[in-house]
Amino acid sequence: MKCPRCGADIPEEALLCPECGEDIKFVPEYDPEFENSMSESLSELAGDFGKLTVDSKTSAAADDMDEDDIEAEREFDANEEGHILGSPVLTICFMCLLLIALGFGAFEFVTKSGVLSFEKDMKEEVSLTDNIDALDEATADDTGDQENGAGEDAASNEETSDDSSEESSEEELIAPPEPTVLEDSGEYSEVTQIVAVAQAGSSVFYTTDGTEPGATAVRYTEPIAMPYGESVFKFVAVDDVTGAMSDIVEREYSFHYPVQFSHEQAVSALLNELIAKGYLLDGMGTVAGMEGYNLYIIQKTEVIDGADYYVITENHVYPDGSQTQSGLLFGVNVTSGLVYRLGSDEQGNYFLKPLT
C-alpha cells in the first residue's frame, strides 16, 4: 500500500506512514471478482426464492398426484446434480455469513479509522502542547532578555549620564596650571625669600604643616621668608571663578647658617662668659667654696629662635670622681658664639634667657 501523501510503502498493519507520519485510512479496494460473485449470489438467492414459490405451488398440486408420481419425483430430486448446493436453507446460511463478514469488515474499518483518528488527535494534542510549552519558554526567554536588556540599557544610560555629567563638570571646572615656585628644594645657608607665581585669574595657597592645601589654606600674597631649619611647603593654584584647583607643588627646605664655632670653641666661649660673670674661678671649672669642678658637655644642636645653638649641660665632678647634673642648661650660637641660659616650656621647647 502507498502513502497518499508522500507515496512511501506502508506495511500492512501500520497505522501511520513511517516517512511523513500521515494517518492511514483503510478503504477496501475495488474487486471485480468479488462484485461478480456477489451478483451471482444475489441472482441465485432470487432464483431460490422464485423456485421456493413455484415449489409451494407445486406442492399444492402434488396433493392431487398419486403416490407413484410422488415417488418418481423424489427419486429425480435425489439424483439431480447440485440440488444440495441450490437448496434455500444453504443459500440463506451463506447470505448470513456474507453479511456477518461484511459487518465485521466494516466494524474493523471503523475501529481502525477511530484508532487512527484518536492517535492523530493525541499526536496533534501532544504537538500542540509541546508548541505551547516551547512558546512559553521562548516568551519567558524573550521577557528575560528584554528585562536584562532593559537593565543593561538603563545601567548603560546611567553610566553614560554619569560620564556626561563628569565630562560636563570637567569641562566647566578646568583646572588651572600648577603654580611656579622659584626656590627649589634643598639646603640653604642664608636668608632666602620663597616666591610663587600663578597664572592670571588664579590665586596661590600654601601650607607648612604637611596638610593638603586648598582655598581655605594660607593665601600667598608676597614672598615668604624661608624658615630657619627644616620646613615643608605645599602650594596649589585655585581658579578665582570656578574654584578648580591645580596639581600640588611640594618643596622641602633645610636652612642653616654656616657653623663658625666648633664644639671646643663653643665650650671655651661658655667658660669665658661664666668666669666673666664670677660664676667660675678659672677655665678648669673651679667653683668658689666647693670641692671639685664643673664639667660642661655639648648634648646636641637645636634651632632656637631662628638660629642653631649648641645645647650644653653642666655636671659637677666631686673629688672621688662621682658626678651630678646641676640642672643648668646653656646655649651657644654656632655662628656667632653668643652664650645664653636655656629654659624649656611644658612641650619641651627651648627658649633663650640672658646670662646674668
Instruction: Identify the H or E element spanning 260.
Output: none
Sort 344 into a burial class: Cβ within 10 Å, 0-12 / 13-18 / 19+.
exposed
Q: Are 308 and 336 in contact (CB under 8 A)?
A: no
Residue 285 neighbours by CB distance under 10 Å:
20
Give the whole-angstrom CA distance, residue 46 versus residue 291.
Answer: 179
Band of the pLDDT at 145, cuts 50, 70, 90? low
- Mean pLDDT across 80-108: 56
What single letter denotes the amino acid at residue 157?
Answer: N
Residue 22's pLDDT is 74
Residue 57's pLDDT is 45
Residue 53's pLDDT is 45
Q: Are 237 and 246 in contact (CB under 8 A)?
A: yes
Which of 344, 356, 232 has its CA nearest to residue 299? Answer: 344
Return the axis-axis angle of helices 88-172 and 32-62, rounded to nearest 10°: 150
pTM: 0.49
| Stretch among 10-24, 87-101, 196-210, 251-265 having the lowest mean pLDDT | 87-101
- Check whether domain 180-255 has CATH 2.60.40, yes or no: yes
Greater model confidence, 4 or 273 = 273
Span 167-195, pLDDT tens digits: 545 456 899 999 999 999 999 999 999 99
- Mean pLDDT across 304-314: 95
Residue 85's pLDDT is 45
Q: Indicate whether 94 pLDDT > 70.
A: no
Give the whole-angstrom CA distance, residue 331 versus residue 310.
Answer: 5
Whole-number average pLDDT of the chain:
76
Residue 155's pLDDT is 52
Span 320-355, pLDDT tens digits: 999 999 999 999 999 999 999 999 999 999 999 998
Domain spans of the chain, in order of start:
32-142, 180-255, 263-353
> Can you name the residues that pair with 157 across neighbouring β-strands?
none
Span 267-279, pLDDT tens digits: 999 999 999 999 9
